[in-house]
Amino acid sequence: MTSTTAELEALLMQRSLTDAQLLAAADAAADFRILPNATVLKIGGQSVIDRGRAAVYPLVDEIVAARKDHKLLIGTGAGTRARHLYSIAAGLNLPAGLLSQLGGSVADQNAAMLGQLLAKHGISAVDGAGLSSVPLFLAEVNAVVFSGMPPYKLWMRPAAEGVIPPYRTDAGCFLVAEQFGCKAMIYVKDENGLYTGNPKTSKNATFIPKISVDEMKAKGLQDSILEFPVLDLLKNARHVREVQVINGLVPGNLTRALAGEHVGTIITAR
């Protein structure tokens, strides 16, 4: 199967966009990595930001120190306030698209707060369209903050069951990392990583340092530490073929993970 520009263009002009030969030719075309030296961090809403000053301030200091050697795209989760909004909206029988807007508003608030804490260091928060200016922020100050909720809003794909938006901030941050062709995706949460059960409620839960997507699904762990759709996004990704989940409440964990150390749990596409 060839993938020259002329032949691919010919297929695009002549075939349906779901044609198997066209899709194979498009898949064979090389992808351009836009920000290959950048790392995306997802700062948990409920796990980190909702804990307030005691959790957020040390992490802010660590981010400021780390950006001297690393280019950072810092996405924010939504957390407890979004869950409260989801409960009200779902009780009113409102659709997933509206719940997506509500959850996005909380992630936006967290991005605004984190951006203000980092402002004196020259690190700004950007919203939707502002993502186009990310390369400038990275070139100037090595870091930028964004809201982790993907901007699907009313165009959110409904889940198979219920009305909770399936693509939330874990997925949104991963998509930014993949589409920009970043070198790493790190989820900063309040657990050491993935366990065989919920470590908050199960005393027999065992820590898992490394696992593949297929292994997670086989063990029934697909929705235990990351949003379920992230696993399928990871499986189909071209650039980001593994993600790392760390405990951001432990000082130094983020710095070690950025340095390439195996901290927490690594989840691989294969």
Q: What is the pLDDT of residues 142-166, one digit of tens each?
A: 999 999 999 999 999 999 899 999 9
Kindly report which listed range (16-25, 67-76, 172-181) carries the lowest average pLDDT score: 16-25
Percent share of the chain, pLDDT over 70: 99
What pLDDT does residue 28 have? 86
| Same domain as 260, residue 134 | yes
Which strand (E) or helix (H) includes residue 75? Answer: strand 71-76
Cα 60 from Cα 58, distance rounded (Å): 5
Tell me the percentage of the chain whose pLDDT exceeds 90: 87
- Secondary structure element (H or E) that encloses residue 73, with its range: strand 71-76
6 pLDDT above the threshold of 70: yes
Report the amino acid identity of residue 56.
V
Please tell me the predicted confidence (pLDDT) of residue 31. Answer: 84
In this predicted structure, the answer to whether residue 182 has a pLDDT above a threshold of 50 is yes
Same domain, residue pair 18 and 92: no
pLDDT beyond 50 at 64: yes
Residues 4 and 117 in one domain: no
Contact between 257 and 186 under an 8 Å Cβ cutoff? The reply is yes
Higher pLDDT pick, 224 / 51: 51
Q: Can you give the pTM of this predicted structure? A: 0.94
Is 2's pLDDT higher than 70? Answer: no
Cβ atoms of 99 and 86 within 8 Å: the answer is: yes
Residue 99 CA: distances (Å) to CA of 85, 110, 152, 232: 8, 17, 11, 22
Domain count, the chain: 2
Let me know how long the chain is: 270
Indicate the pLDDT class of residue 175, thresholds 50, 70 and 90: very high
Q: Are residues 1 and 43 in the same domain?
A: no
Q: Which residues pair with 186 in a beta bridge?
A: 41, 244
Residue 1's pLDDT is what?
A: 41
pLDDT at residue 27 greater than cutoff 60:
yes
pLDDT given for residue 185 in this prediction:
98
Domain of 256, in residue numbers: 35-268
More confident residue, 118 or 24: 118
- The enclosing domain of 45 has a CATH number of 3.40.1160.10
pLDDT of residue 201: 86
Q: What is the mean pLDDT of the chain?
A: 94
Is the pLDDT at 71 greater than 70? The verdict is yes
Q: How confident is the model at residue 129 (pLDDT cuts 50, 70, 90)?
A: low
Q: Does residue 177 sit in the same domain as residue 228?
A: yes
Q: 171 pLDDT exceeds 50?
A: yes
Are both 59 and 13 inside the same structural domain? no
pLDDT of residue 66: 98
Same domain? 1 vs 134 = no
Q: Would you say 213 and 269 are in contact if contact means Cβ atoms under 8 Å apart?
A: yes
Q: Are residues 44 and 4 in the same domain?
A: no
